[in-house]
Structure 1
Amino acid sequence: MALMFGLCIGSLHAQDKPALSPAKTAAEAKLVDIRTLVPDIAEDIKYAGSDNFMDTPADGYRAPACLLLRPVAEALARVERDLRTRHQRLKIWDCYRPARAVAHFVRWAHDLSDQRTKPQHYPRLDKSELLHGYIAESSGHSRGATIDLTMQQCAADGSRCMPLDMGTDFDFFDVRAHTDTPDVTPQQHANRLLLRDAMEREGFRNYPMEWWHYTLDPEPTPHTLYDVPVQ
């Protein structure tokens, strides 16, 4: 099983490690709520609640909101507008992630006594392996340009939107989460490519080990991490 995938794009080399911004608020960090651009975009912000691999809200998530740097939010809004012309929509699971939430992930991964979410999130993996490529101490999400999401198909009038079958759930630690894995059905793979094509048209690149993970390329602040709360 490949170990070079996880919740983060990966550990950065020490010389490239981003610096922590002194910003204390979203406004100071120039983070905006995607709903200021697309008020009715579909969201299910997993780390603001308990429906996630830790089974508890992550530190720093005070509200179920998607914050992004403005150029990223504007690009994502363009993806959504384009999809709606095809009776499709996005559904967002995570956007900007405070650095304190990433630290919370690491603490959880060290607690080998907590195995509550193993059946759903890492059924074929020993929890002791999660820190070896799956959960890193620095996340691209904390730079404000990365999004976790899926795609929905809607009725012709834009109602009754249903998520496309992508073959795995969000934050599934397994090779089946790789975008181009052969271990899903042809239709599930085709659905992943629909999402990838839609995102790539507006400059987002997929992290190939996670079909749901996209980063705007180039990133607006590639050398800066933020730790303001999501609220």
Structure 2
Amino acid sequence: MKNSFLIFLFISLSFCAQNLPKEFVYLETIDASIKSELRYLSKNNFIGKPIDGYKNNCVIVTNETAKTLKKIQQLLSKKGFGLKIFDAYRPQQAVNHFVRWAKVLQDTLMKSAYYPNVPKSELFKQGYIASKSGHSRGSTVDLTLINLNTGKELDMGSPYDFFGEKSHPFSKNITKKQRENRMLLRNIMLANGFKPYENEWWHFTLKNEPFSNTYFNFPVK
């Protein structure tokens, strides 16, 4: 069993390999059981194109963030749930890509799926796009919960990266069960040292992040 895990880890890291800055790690080296689907590596995101700086499906975070996520994963697994990461460390070049896109008001390819009720001109004002992101500091994660038996994501009432009131953690436009699912994620993240973002149910930042004022720009690969 141990040899199988080492082979899996070697194969994974052969695709995700670079000299990371000190205190950064590939999450799979700390806990390979945490699932991931980096949306910005694909066209399945609010822009509709792969985002600058994303080269491989590699979850990169600070070491302290990784260790805390491992602890949370272990706690969740006892209840039959697990974590799934949509985004973690995000290079500044990706944030710059978002900013450039946000200024081209006629580019609304994914509006119906991701921001149907918010004018693109309002995305900055309403806090969905910014020139700097906590993700670039390495201790912020966008994530959801999955059922370990089925592998399916829990119903959170709105998709990841949906820009609108329905994505606010305490939105009234969701069902009781959807709210319970959000609170399950929120409560375990808060209980283990993460702080939430009030516009997005999926967004959490480690309270004692090691790089609170440093924004990195190395690629995700």
TM-score normalised by structure 1 residue count: 0.85
Compute the displacement of 1:169 (Å).
Answer: 0.3
Deviations 1:65-121 (A, max 9, x none): 110010011101111111111111011100000001000000011111211100000
Separation in 1, partners of 2:217, 2:205: 18
1:163 counterpart (148, 153, 164)? 153
Q: Which runs of 5+ in 2 are unaligned?
A: 1-17
Q: Which runs of 5+ in 1 are unaligned?
A: 1-24
Deviations 1:28-69 (A, max 9, x none): 253211100111321111011111011111111111111001
Please tell me the root mean square deviation across aligned C-alpha atoms, in Å.
1.2
Q: Which secondary structure state, in structure 2, belongs to the residue aligned with residue 108 of structure 1? A: helix
Q: Does 1:149 align with 2:139?
A: no
Q: Which has the higher contact order (CA 8 A, sep 6+)?
A: 1
Residue of structure 2 in register with 1:140 after alignment? 134
Residue of structure 2 in register with 1:89 after alignment? 82
Q: Does 1:38 align with 2:37?
A: no
Instruction: Map 1:18-167 onto structure 2 (within 5 A).
Output: 27-132=20-125, 133-155=127-149, 160-167=150-157
TM-score normalised by structure 2 residue count: 0.89
Q: Does 1:186 align with 2:176?
A: yes
Separation in 2, partners of 1:166, 1:228: 32
Separation in 2, partners of 1:128, 1:82: 41
Deviations 1:123-144 (A, max 9, x none): 0011111122220000000000
Q: Which amino acid aligns with 1:95?
A: A
Deviations 1:175-224 (A, max 9, x none): 11000111111111111000011212211111121000010112111011
Q: 1:26 to 1:79 in 2, by over 3 A?
A: farther
Higher mean Cα deviation, 174-183 or 27-36?
Answer: 27-36
Separation in 1, partners of 2:19, 2:153: 30
| Contact 1:34/1:67, CA 8 A, preserved across alignment | yes
Separation in 2, partners of 1:149, 1:163: 10
4+ residue runs over 4 A deviation:
none
Identity of aligned residues (%): 40
Separation in 2, partners of 1:226, 1:129: 27
Residue of structure 1 in register with 2:188 after alignment? 198
Separation in 2, partners of 1:55, 1:65: 20
Residue of structure 2 in register with 1:3 after alignment? none
Separation in 2, partners of 1:88, 1:59: 32
| Contact 1:29/1:226, CA 8 A, preserved across alignment | no
Compute the displacement of 1:26 (Å).
Answer: 5.0
